[in-house]
Structure 1
Amino acid sequence: MRSLKTAFITSTLTAALLIPNAAYAKEATQLHVEFNQVNIKVNDKDFIGNNILYDGTTYVPIRDVAAMLGLAVNYYDKTETAYIGQIGAGEFAADNHDIDSWDVMTPATPSNAPVREKSDATINVYMNQVTVKVHGMQLKANTFLYEGTTFVPIRAASESIDVPVKYDEATGTAYIGKTSHTFPTVVEQPKAQPKSGMYAVPAEGDMAGWQLLKGHPYEGKANIYFMTKGSVQQVKMEPILQEDLDQVVQWVDSNGNKRTNTVGQLYELFAGLSNQYTTEILVNTFGDLYINWFASSTIDAFSVVDQYLKETGQIPDPTSNVTLKPDSKIVPVEQDNLNKGAGVGTFFHAVDKFGTYKGQYQDKDDPYYTARIIDGRLVVPPLLSEGWIGLDVLAKIYNADVAVENQDIIFKAKPSAGKQQEYFHLTLPSDWGTKDGSTTKDGIKIKNFTYGLTDEWVDADGLEAAGVYVINYPNSDPATGELQSVHRFYTEDKSHKRTTLYEIVLPNATYKENETYTLSGIRLKRTSGNNYSYNTADLISHNIIGSQTKVRPYFNIQDLKKAGILKEYTPK
């Protein structure tokens, strides 16, 4: 039987852009939330009911929101839309009698649901299942359906009709509407000046109440917001992508069909489909567009905020367990500015050929490394933390376009920077892709990273990642009538039309686990139950899959410094 993952492979790249959002509404989303952590007062009166705190936002049942604001609430099940207050002009046709019985004047009554105790919980919800409109205007905020009740962000709903919302952090109380409460004056204590140059300013708009971090290494690539409440730290990261979201992009799907979508539509596709089965397909199909989205979407904002809070003394540095005695000797260790060790906590301080400091980078800034880690792959590219740098990180350091001409890799200024001057180029030897340890014309050592279908054997999941499906079904031998099994390999287009590529016939016999059999010219072995793996080379030779192995070069950082492409970093 075909795996459920099939929907996310070949046909997904086209179908996902055509299916309306409602098609995904049936899938539950798991959220870690806090129940009733926020006290709510409406016009100085206590609100009795449930609220859910998620990701810094307080959500309240829609009926309770309407009751707080003194507005009616009605629900139109045909469009799954809830209306708070008045109905917008032209919302319904004059001959639509479905709403004749609606009362848009009488304020809703509270839900009076049993109030839960304060607690943390992981719950299953349906995000944005219901559209919410307040006085005819659609609420521009997330909502979710939980146990049959629609929860709405109280701040967004209130402020949409100019009802003020204020929050007293000291008491954990939200004040809606008029209040005589005196809010404490916050006296800012002088903070230590961070060595990194980072600083925080109050966020505005939808992120009001948060702090916006400035001067961090990813400025221009992402907005990083944080909020601290006692020892609890909340962080949000908002990628800043340079591409025009309305720009039209033409791409070719796995069936060779040309497709056209906007960049914004493709970003939505990436967000929904980027996983261990699709990462390499998306890289191969969309190239830099996907790689840039992926790099911006995987920034470790928590580590950046953590560094800032430590530098400003808002959270303590971990204490050392090392005790120095009077006769202890301190031996300085000569190190490059790139520390050895796990890539997560290791920074490479980049200085370009002009002596300009270009920020700090980690292993995870290489999108190929990050993709392999997320996919749970054992083989990763050569690591930045071990002295090797890839084309993507080099291009980030110089903010450069990369062009390949024959054996030359040329790093040029982006067109927006004016004339496309060449920063530098690297000339690869003719055998670099097949020979590890070769060097460029300038003597820079190269390490190869091979990716794609590199394993000797591939199972059904691996085939799906390559856009090919396999189905096993019983059949009768037309000559003898004996039962046999057929393994059919096929592709599928967006209309679910299947094209058969090849068939393997397995006569009725006992196939031992992990023993190799050759049938119909393909080596295969049974791994467990009715699951089989197939020899990759045989599949390629029979044109069932293409040779999808690719190679990327990684360069030795010390050699790049010797060649003058990078310079040593000197701490100040």
Structure 2
Amino acid sequence: MKIKRMLMLIIITIFIMPTSAFADTQSKNINVSFNEINIKVNGVDFKGDNMVYNDIIYLPIGDLSKLLDLSVYYYKPTNTIYMGCLPAGNIAESCKLYDEPKDVIQKGLNNIDVAFNNVNIKVHGETVNAMTISYKNTTFVSLKAACEILNIGVKYDVSTLTAYVGGQANLNNVTYNSYQNGFSDNQKNLYAEPATGDMQGWQKIRGHEYEGIVEIYYQLNRNIQSIKVKDIRNVDLNKIVEWVDDNGIKRYNSVGDIYQMFYHFGSYSTEWFDKKFGDLYTEWLIVESINAEKIVSDYLGMTGQNQRQNNITLTPDAKFKTIE
């Protein structure tokens, strides 16, 4: 009953608080790559800035609007940027053309201080369901997420570091996967060995950068690829944690219960959890955000096994199992 009451409190908090309340106002340092990707729109080179973070290509709002040939407006009451069509009524009347100042962006790898999700983005009235990144005076938006709303194809050719938008995105030999050219040092270290114990019959991926906190397993059955991830950190799920809710009331919950809360509501309240739970949330998020599918895909691609697997389906099989 205690966890149910706590979850109800979170649900109420999420729905009564304005969207901007979950904006990440604190600066965070991340590693990104600027302007190392070529972009072609319907086969024509596109001139503009781009950024790659966690294998996702982002464009500044101004450049993205030019690529999509859409006007951009800003509606202050809800801190929302509209690209393209505006909703009828007061919003359309109150919107102003958005002209975001943009800093000169140098090419190459950089460690930068950013803020996440501090503005809402809509394309033709539909919310872009992807993280936004604000760097200095520029807001970056996922190229792929914006194009998906407009049913515009986006594919990526690793060999030429080129993203194809529109016409050429349907080429069979171009796949939107990783922006890396060839195999990185981390990929070259990957190998597999037969699993034992309760995972007998699976292959265990070794040599990845997360070996100290998770074990990654895969299994190929004809055209089906299954993946399982086990959290092997020494975490006491029964440990009681004291925290304070938005009303100043002290609450006590086990680490396991709090992890369940993170899992079910994290996509809506990342910044809220970070402020309330600090390192506990950060450590959980590190495991949750591991892209096991990509690690397995990198290994299979490096060893040529992807070529023998057609129409692979990644099954969601128990995303995480904690070893107590």
TM-score range, shorter chain: 0.5 to 0.7
Higher helix share: 2
2:137 corresponds, among 136, 145, 148, to: 148
Q: Which residue of 1 aligns with 2:117?
A: 128
User: Is the partner of 1:48 in helix, strand or coil?
Assistant: coil
Q: Deviations over 1:490-533 (max 9, x none)?
A: xxxxxxxxxxxxxxxxxxxxxxxxxxxxxxxxxxxxxxxxxxxx
Are 1:93 and 2:82 matched, yes or no?
A: no
Q: Which residue of 2 aligns with 1:163?
A: 152
User: In structure 2, what is the Cα distance between the partners aligned to 1:56 and 1:114?
Assistant: 23
User: Is the partner of 1:27 in helix, strand or coil?
Assistant: coil
Over the matched positions of the two proteins, sequence identity in percent amounts to 26
User: Is the partner of 1:170 in helix, strand or coil?
Assistant: helix
Q: Deviations over 1:415-443 (max 9, x none)?
A: xxxxxxxxxxxxxxxxxxxxxxxxxxxxx
Q: Which residue of 1 aligns with 2:33?
A: 34
Q: How does 1:405-420 map to 2 (within 5 A)?
A: none
CA RMSD of aligned residues (A): 5.0
Q: Which residue of 2 aligns with 1:44?
A: 43
Are 1:214 and 2:213 matched, yes or no?
A: no
Q: Is the 8 A contact 2:103 2:137 kept in 1?
A: no
User: In structure 1, what is the Cα distance between the partners aligned to 2:51 and 2:85?
Assistant: 26
Letter aligned with residue 26 of structure 2: E
User: In structure 2, what is the Cα distance between the partners aligned to 1:298 and 1:33?
Assistant: 20
Letter aligned with residue 98 of structure 1: S
Q: Deviations over 1:183-231 (max 9, x none)?
A: 5489xxxxx974232389xxxxxxxxxxx96349982768xxxxxxxxx
Q: Which residue of 1 aligns with 2:20?
A: 22
Q: Deviations over 1:154-210 (max 9, x none)?
A: 111011110111111111100101139955489xxxxx974232389xxxxxxxxxx
Q: Which residue of 1 aligns with 2:203?
A: 198
User: In structure 2, what is the Cα distance between the partners aligned to 1:138 and 1:144?
Assistant: 15
Deviation, 1:146, is: 1.4
User: Is the partner of 2:36 in helix, strand or coil?
Assistant: coil
Q: Which residue of 2 aligns with 1:84?
A: 83
Letter aligned with residue 22 of structure 1: S
User: In structure 2, what is the Cα distance between the partners aligned to 1:300 and 1:177?
Assistant: 30
Are 1:68 and 2:67 matched, yes or no?
A: yes
Structure 2 gaps, min length 5: 1-8, 176-190, 196-201, 206-215, 220-224, 232-240, 304-320
Letter aligned with residue 164 of structure 1: G
Q: Does the C-alpha gap of structure 1 residues 294 and 152 become closer, same or farther in structure 2, counting only changes over 3 Å? A: closer
User: In structure 2, what is the Cα distance between the partners aligned to 1:181 and 1:305?
Assistant: 22
User: In structure 2, what is the Cα distance between the partners aligned to 1:168 and 1:51?
Assistant: 16
- TM-score of the two chains, using structure 1 as the length reference: 0.34
Are 1:119 and 2:108 matched, yes or no?
A: yes
1:172 corresponds, among 161, 167, 185, to: 161
Structure 1 gaps, min length 5: 1-13, 187-191, 201-211, 223-250, 280-289, 315-364, 366-391, 397-572
Q: Is the 8 A contact 1:27 1:126 kept in 2?
A: yes
User: In structure 2, what is the Cα distance between the partners aligned to 1:176 and 1:305?
Assistant: 22
Letter aligned with residue 219 of structure 1: K
Q: Is the 8 A contact 1:52 1:59 kept in 2?
A: yes
Q: Is the 8 A contact 2:43 2:167 kept in 1?
A: yes
Q: Does the C-alpha gap of structure 1 residues 258 and 305 become closer, same or farther in structure 2, counting only changes over 3 Å? A: closer
- TM-score of the two chains, using structure 2 as the length reference: 0.55
Q: Deviations over 1:380-431 (max 9, x none)?
A: xxxxxxxxxxxx95xx4xxxxxxxxxxxxxxxxxxxxxxxxxxxxxxxxxxx
User: In structure 1, what is the Cα distance between the partners aligned to 2:53 and 2:148?
Assistant: 19
Letter aligned with residue 58 of structure 1: I
User: In structure 2, what is the Cα distance between the partners aligned to 1:127 and 1:40?
Assistant: 24
User: Is the partner of 1:179 in helix, strand or coil?
Assistant: helix
Letter aligned with residue 152 of structure 1: V
Letter aligned with residue 90 of structure 2: A
Q: Deviations over 1:231-280 (max 9, x none)?
A: xxxxxxxxxxxxxxxxxxxx99678767999944588565544446xx5x
User: In structure 2, what is the Cα distance between the partners aligned to 1:218 and 1:67?
Assistant: 39
Q: Deviations over 1:363-396 (max 9, x none)?
A: xx9xxxxxxxxxxxxxxxxxxxxxxxxxx95xx4
Q: Is the 8 A contact 1:62 1:151 kept in 2?
A: yes
Q: Is the 8 A contact 1:32 1:122 kept in 2?
A: yes
Q: Does the C-alpha gap of structure 1 residues 27 and 44 become closer, same or farther in structure 2, counting only changes over 3 Å? A: same
User: In structure 2, what is the Cα distance between the partners aligned to 1:300 and 1:70?
Assistant: 33
Q: Which residue of 1 aligns with 2:235?
A: none
User: In structure 1, what is the Cα distance between the partners aligned to 2:113 and 2:167?
Assistant: 35
Q: Is the 8 A contact 1:164 1:177 kept in 2?
A: yes
Count of matched residue positions in the alignment of Structure 1 and Structure 2 = 238
Deviation, 1:74, is: 0.9
Q: Is the 8 A contact 2:101 2:138 kept in 1?
A: no
Letter aligned with residue 88 of structure 1: P
Deviation, 1:38, is: 1.0
User: In structure 2, what is the Cα distance between the partners aligned to 1:26 and 1:313?
Assistant: 40
User: In structure 1, what is the Cα distance between the partners aligned to 2:192 and 2:265?
Assistant: 42
Q: Is the 8 A contact 2:85 2:124 kept in 1?
A: yes
Deviation, 1:58, is: 0.6
